[in-house]
Chain A
Amino acid sequence: MGDAAILANGALSQSTAPDSLTFRISPPAALVMDSGATLSPLTIAYQTYGALNAARSNALLVCHALSGDQHVANLHPVTGRAGWWETMVGPGLPFDTDRFFVICSNVLGGCMGTTGPASINPETGNPFGLDFPIVTVADMVRAQALLLDHLGIETLFCVAGGSMGGMQVLQWAASYPTRVFAALPIATSARHSSQNIAFHEVGRQAVMADPDWRGGRYLIEGARPSKGLAVARMAAHITYLSDSALHRRFGRNLQDRSARTFSFDADFQVESYLRHQGAIFVERFDPNSYLYMTRAMDYFDLAADYGGSLANAFKGSRTRFCVVSFTSDWLFPTSDSRALVRALNAGGASVSFVEIETDRGHDAFLLDVPELIETTRGFIDAAARARGIS
C-alpha cells in the first residue's frame, strides 16, 4: 500500500500543482455552467506541441476521454508512461507537430490540474468534493473556448477526440460552428445510451460503496476509496474491449500457476490483468473526478439541446466532419455513428464516415490501428490543403 499511497499523493499533487501549462480565470471573469452554477476562479491545465503559425490557422485541439488527460504525447508525470495518443500526435504523424499547433487541456472536473472536485474550494479552504458543481460536456467545451481566447486562437483547424473526447468534438461543432474548420469524432455518439449510463452507474456505486469514500469527503478526512475506484475501473475496462480481443489475449490461461488453486485468488490471467488495470488507475485518478466525468457523459444528449433534432445541431454547418467507428466497439457501436452521419447529412454538413474493421473494441481509437492512422492522415492532409496550411 505504501507505493500506491505515494503515487496517490502524486496524483493529488497534480490536481493542485500540475506539471503543465496553466491558465487561470479570476473574478470578475467566470464560467457559467449548464447547472446554473458559476465557477471562478478557475484553472485550466494544458499541454501544447508544435508552434502556432503567423496566421494562427494551424491549431488542432485534442479532446481527451473519460480517464485521459492533457498528456497526449509526453511522458505522464505520475505514471512515467508514454502519452496516450503517441500513435497520432508527433512529427510526421497524422497530427503532425511540425505542421500543427496541437493543444490538449485537462477537462473541467478533471484531476490533472484543471479545476475539479479535488481542487481547493476558495470558500472553505478545503477540497470541493461533492460541492463541486455537476459538469457537462458543454461546460468542458466552454472552458476550452476560454483557453483558446486566452491563446488568441479564433478558429481551430481541427478538433479531434475519441469517446468522451468525441462528444466534446461534436459539442464544439454545435456550439461554435464558425470556430471549427474540421472535426474528427471517433468511436463516439451524440447521446449516451441507456446501457452506457447503466455501466457508469455501476462504477459510481462501486466508488460510493467504498467506506473510505466518506460521502465524498475522503480528501478532507485523509482517506482514499481506492478499492471502489479500482472495481469501477475493472468493470469499465471490460466494456472498452471485446469478447474476441479478451479471448485472443488471455483465453482461459492461468496466471503464474499450473493448476486451479480452488480459491478466489486471481487464477486466470484475465483476472490478474483487470486487477492490474484497477490498481494502476487509482494511482493517477481522483475517485470523485471519476463520478463527475461519468455523469458528464451520461448527461450528453446533443439532440435534446436542439429541439430533439440532431440535424438542427449541425444545420448549415461549414465544418468538414470525418466520423470513425470500429466494428467491435459495443460501447459506442457503429449504429451510433451512423445516426450521427445521417443527422449531419440531413443538416447539409460535409461528412465522411469510415467503419474500421478490428476486434479490439472501443479502445481501438487509442491503439496502433493502421486503418485509423491512414484515414486520419488522409482527412487531416486534405483539410490542411483546403485551409492553406503548408
Chain B
Amino acid sequence: MSLARTLASSRVDLLRVAELVAPGSRVLDVGCGDGELLRLLTEERNVDGRGIELSQQGVNDCVAKGLSVIQGDADADLADYPNDAFDYVILSQTLQATRRPRAVLEHMLRIGRRAIVSVPNFGHWQVRAQLALRGRMPVTQSLAYSWYDTPNIHFCTIADFVALAHEVGATIDKSVALDPNGRPLRPLWPKWAWNLFGEQAIFLLHRGR
C-alpha cells in the first residue's frame, strides 16, 4: 500500500484532496504513507487527523511527526471503527491495492460522513495504447510496476469507480480528474474525455442518494 504511494511519480493530488476537507474536521487517512497529507491537513486545515499505514517505516515517520497513526491495513482494520467516527475518511491512491475494494469503500462511507477517494485511471489513453498496440501490460510513469510485482491488484477506470459508487449507494458530491502534471481537467469536458485523458481522479462522496 505504501509502496504504491511512495513510488507514485506525483503527489500533487494530496493538495487537491486537502482542498476538499473542511477546516477543523476529524479526518482518518487510510494508507497515510509517511504522513504528508495528515501533516498538511493538521497544519493548514487545523484538522484532528488519524492515520492507518501498513509499513513500519511509514508509521515510524508519522509518529516522529507527532501524528497518531496505527499500523494496519484498509482490508483488515476499517471494520473496527464505529459508525460516523470521522467527518472525512480519505483513501489516496490505495483502493487499487486493497483485496476487497468494494468492502473498503463501504466501510469508508460508514465510518465517515464523507469519503474522499483518489484512484489512478486505468482508462488513460497511454494505458489503453500500451495494451492495444503493444499487447503488453501497461507500465507508465505513475504505474511503474511490472504485472508480476505490482501491489495494485484491482485497477479501475474513472467510469468503473463511478459505477461502483452507484452500486454501493453513494452519492458523488464532487469529482476532479487530473492530467499527468496534476492539473485539473476542465470540469465541462464530457466524462469519456476524463476517462481518456485523466491520469487520476479524486472523488468526494457520501452514503445515500
Contact = CB atoms under 8 A, between A and B. Distances in A.
Contact of B80 (A322, A342, A352): A342
A382 B64 contact: yes
A353 B59 CA distance: 8
Interface in B57-83: 59-72, 80-82
B174 to A, nearest CB: 28
A386 B56 CA distance: 23
Nearest to B28: A345
Given A342-B80, A345-B80, A371-B56, A355 B64 contact: no
A352 B56 contact: no
- Tell me whether chain A's interface is mostly helix, strand or loop, or mixed: helix
A251 interface: no
Interface string B40-52: 0000000000100
5 contacts: A322-B63, A338-B72, A345-B50, A378-B63, A379-B64
Contact of A354 (B59, B65, B80, B82): B59
A357 B56 contact: yes
Contacts of B60: 354, 371, 374-375, 378
Interface string A355-390: 111000000000000010011011101110110000
A381 B67 CA distance: 12
A244 B56 CA distance: 22
A320 interface: yes
B65 A382 contact: yes
Contact of A356 (B56, B61, B85): B56
Given A346-B82, A357-B56, A351 B64 contact: no
6 closest Cβ contacts across the A-B interface?
Answer: A378-B64, A382-B66, A353-B70, A378-B63, A350-B68, A342-B80
**Which of B63, B64, B72 has the largest number of chain A CB atoms within 10 A?**
B63
Interface string B15-39: 0000000000000000000000000
Given A341-B70, A342-B80, A345-B81, A354 B64 contact: no
Interface residues of B, number: 20
A338 to B, nearest CB: 8
Contacts of B70: 341, 345, 351-353
Nearest to B49: A350
Contacts of B81: 345
Contacts of A352: 59, 62-63, 67-70
Contacts of A375: 59-60, 63
Contacts of A322: 63
B89 to A, nearest CB: 13
B56 A381 contact: no
B68 A351 contact: yes
A386 B62 CA distance: 15
Nearest to A341: B70
Contacts of B61: 378
B58 to A, nearest CB: 10
From B69, B70, B80, B81, residue with most partner A Cβ within 10 Å: B70
A17 B82 CA distance: 53
Given A345-B80, A382-B67, 5 more contacts: A338-B72, A352-B67, A375-B60, A378-B65, A382-B66
Interface string B131-167: 0000000000000000000000000000000000000
B66 A386 contact: yes
Contacts of B72: 338, 353
Contact of A355 (B63, B67, B71, B85): B71
B50 to A, nearest CB: 8
Contacts of A353: 59, 69-72
Given A342-B80, A371-B60, A320 B71 contact: no
A299 to B, nearest CB: 27
A385 B67 CA distance: 12
A351 B72 CA distance: 13
Nearest to A334: B71
Contacts of B67: 352, 382
Interface string A302-328: 000000000000000000101000000
Given A355-B56, A357-B56, A378-B60, A385 B66 contact: yes
A341 B72 CA distance: 11
A346 B85 CA distance: 8
A377 B66 CA distance: 11
Nearest to B68: A350
A354 B64 CA distance: 12
